[in-house]
């Protein structure tokens, strides 16, 4: 039989243990992810989450991820960044220039990691690549360096082509867009082809843009990896097939959606790398002390199903250069 004194001691010890168990619970960090794609099934988001998991950061356990999507509209990011601030997040991961600009404007103290940032110094996201300073770091996107190479591949794919178009998001900052245009114009001149620049500001304008390109007898379209276009990559690929216009792009997700080819950085790989920067910050390293990294993982993808549908015979030497062939 248990005495009354023993029972009281037992319940008293139980009362002491409960608070200690609560105190031992790990901190749950809040991370805001400012996305372009509406769906969490995006390969870049899944790559980030998987890498964080491998590093010990598990959504629903010691990490709470707030997925805030713009649907490809840069003008939605200021509101989403403000929402993240209201929710007292510990860190913000951004997915492009529009989201990074909005996050930086919203807070000068909350750490920000940009997984994809074009010309981050010129856009004043960081003071320098080696010493970012402030509350921002991330992975720089090699936009200008890859533009000429993409033009060369387009010409190799279509040796007889003389008229190219460049499709881009019209809401890109003018200064950055001007530099990119100059790079592609120079590459086109070196290849002996003409280049027309076509801006779109909404998904509705895509239909008009492709119809205009077809009317002007454009031979192929080089699509930039801008937020609006990435989110609507399936529509871009569909329009290319409908108008029988070969589409070349900077992101393999376009080729996977049905574009003819892509050459650029491996975006899932850079988001996996972004997870390491997030890990450093959550473990105590200030973002301003973490150098901005530049990706070195590139891939050339050819969609042979699309080539056959367009009646294009891809040269053997081009196929030999491909990292991946979709057939």
pLDDT average, residue stretch 28-49: 94
User: Does 233 share its domain with 172?
Assistant: yes
Choose between 277 and 202: higher pLDDT: 277
CB 208 within 8 A of CB 277: no
Q: Tell me what pLDDT residue 225 has.
A: 85
User: Does 210 share its domain with 245?
Assistant: yes
User: Does 66 share its domain with 107?
Assistant: yes
Q: Tell me what pLDDT residue 173 has.
A: 65
- What is d(CA 282, CA 278) in angstroms, rounded to the nearest whole number? 6
Closest to 295 measured CA to CA, from 147, 179, 148, 138 = 138
User: Does 125 share its domain with 235?
Assistant: no
What is the layout of strands, in order, in the sheet containing 194-200?
194-200, 163-169, 220-223, 247-249, 261-265, 298-303, 324-326
Kindly indicate the confidence band of residue 8, based on its pLDDT and cuts at 50, 70 and 90. very low
User: Does 70 share its domain with 101?
Assistant: yes
Q: Looking at 107-224, list the stretches that DSSP marks H as alpha helix, in order from N- to C-terminal side.
A: 143-157, 174-191, 204-215
- What is d(CA 151, CA 190) in angstroms, rounded to the nearest whole number? 10
User: Does 34 share its domain with 115?
Assistant: yes
User: Does 191 share its domain with 319?
Assistant: yes
User: Does 167 share its domain with 261?
Assistant: yes
Residue 60 lies in a domain: yes
Q: Tell me what pLDDT residue 117 has.
A: 86
CB 203 within 8 A of CB 228: yes
CB 184 within 8 A of CB 223: no
Residue 155 has pLDDT above 60, yes or no: yes
User: Does 287 share its domain with 250?
Assistant: no
Kindly indicate the confidence band of residue 7, based on its pLDDT and cuts at 50, 70 and 90. very low
User: Does 147 share its domain with 257?
Assistant: yes
Residue 14 lies in a domain: no
Residue 4 lies in a domain: no
Average pLDDT value over all residues in the chain = 89
pTM over 0.95: no
Kindly indicate the confidence band of residue 38, based on its pLDDT and cuts at 50, 70 and 90. confident
Residue 297 has pLDDT above 90, yes or no: no
What CATH number has the domain bearing residue 312?
Answer: 3.40.50.2300
Share of the chain above pLDDT 90, in %: 71
CA distance to 225, 238, 245, per residue, from 228 (Å): 8, 15, 20
pLDDT average, residue stretch 73-89: 96
How many other β-carbons are positioned within 10 Å of the β-carbon of residue 216?
A: 11
Residue 72 has pLDDT above 90, yes or no: no
Residue 65 has pLDDT above 70, yes or no: yes
How many folded domains does the chain comprise? 2
Quick: pLDDT tens for 175-228: 667 777 888 899 999 999 999 999 999 899 999 999 999 999 999 999 988 889
- What is d(CA 114, CA 5) in angstroms, rounded to the nearest whole number? 61
Residue 93 lies in a domain: yes
Q: Tell me what pLDDT residue 25 has.
A: 64
Q: Which residues contact 66 (CB under 8 A, 6 or more apart)?
A: 30, 31, 32, 33, 84, 87, 89
- What is d(CA 31, CA 34) in angstroms, rounded to the nearest whole number? 10
Q: Which residues contact 266 (CB under 8 A, 6 or more apart)?
A: 252, 295, 297, 298, 299
Residue 16 lies in a domain: no
Question: The dihedral of CA 300, 248, 188, 312: what is its sign?
Answer: positive
User: Does 149 share its domain with 252?
Assistant: yes
Residue 1 lies in a domain: no
Q: Tell me what pLDDT residue 226 has.
A: 85
Residue 14 has pLDDT above 80, yes or no: no
pLDDT average, residue stretch 158-167: 95
Residue 22 lies in a domain: no
Quick: pLDDT tens for 103-146: 999 999 999 999 988 889 988 999 999 999 999 999 998 665 67
Residue 268 has pLDDT above 70, yes or no: yes
Residue 52, classified by CB atoms within 10 Å of its CB into exposed (0-12), middle (13-18) or buried (19+), is buried
User: Does 251 share its domain with 107?
Assistant: no
Residue 76 lies in a domain: yes
Q: Which domain holds residue 278?
A: 29-142+266-297
Q: Tell me what pLDDT residue 26 has.
A: 75
Q: Tell me what pLDDT residue 323 has.
A: 94
- What is d(CA 326, CA 241) in angstroms, rounded to the nearest whole number? 16
CA distance to 34, 65, 275, 320, per residue, from 101 (Å): 11, 20, 20, 40
CA distance to 49, 138, 171, 233, 318, per residue, from 227 (Å): 20, 18, 10, 10, 28
Kindly indicate the confidence band of residue 2, based on its pLDDT and cuts at 50, 70 and 90. very low
């Amino acid at each position: 039989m248990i005495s009354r004194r023993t029972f009281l001691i037992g319940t008293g010890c139980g009362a002491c243990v409960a608070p200690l168990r609560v105190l031992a619970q790990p901190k749950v960090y809040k991370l805001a992810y400012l996305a372009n794609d509406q769906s969490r099934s995006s390969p870049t988001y899944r790559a980030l989450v998987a890498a964080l998991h491998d590093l010990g950061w598990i959504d629903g356990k010691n990490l709470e991820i707030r997925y805030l999507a713009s649907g490809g509209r840069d003008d939605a990011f200021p509101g989403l960044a403000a929402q993240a601030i209201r929710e007292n997040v510990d860190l913000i991961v951004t997915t492009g220039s529009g989201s990074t600009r909005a996050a930086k404007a919203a807070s000068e103290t909350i750490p920000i990691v940009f997984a994809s940032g074009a010309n981050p110094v010129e856009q004043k996201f960081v003071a320098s690549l080696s010493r970012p300073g402030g509350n921002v770091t991330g992975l720089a996107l090699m936009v200008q360096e890859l533009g000429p190479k993409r033009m060369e591949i387009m010409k190799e794919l279509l040796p007889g082509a003389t008229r190219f178009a460049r499709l881009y998001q019209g809401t890109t900052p003018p200064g950055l867009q001007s530099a990119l245009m100059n790079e592609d114009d120079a590459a086109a001149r070196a290849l002996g082809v003409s280049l027309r620049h076509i801006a779109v500001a909404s998904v509705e304008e895509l239909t008009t843009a492709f119809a205009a390109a077809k009317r002007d007898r454009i031979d192929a379209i080089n699509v930039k990896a801008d937020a609006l276009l990435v989110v609507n990559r399936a529509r871009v690929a569909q329009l290319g097939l409908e108008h029988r216009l070969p589409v070349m792009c900077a992101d393999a997700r376009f080729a996977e959606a049905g574009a003819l080819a892509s050459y650029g950085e491996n975006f899932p790989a850079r988001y996996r790398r972004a997870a390491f920067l997030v890990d450093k910050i959550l473990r105590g390293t200030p973002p301003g002390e973490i150098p901005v990294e530049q990706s070195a993982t590139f891939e050339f993808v050819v969609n042979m199903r699309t080539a056959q549908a367009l009646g294009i015979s891809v040269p053997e030497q081009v196929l030999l250069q491909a990292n991946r062939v979709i057939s």
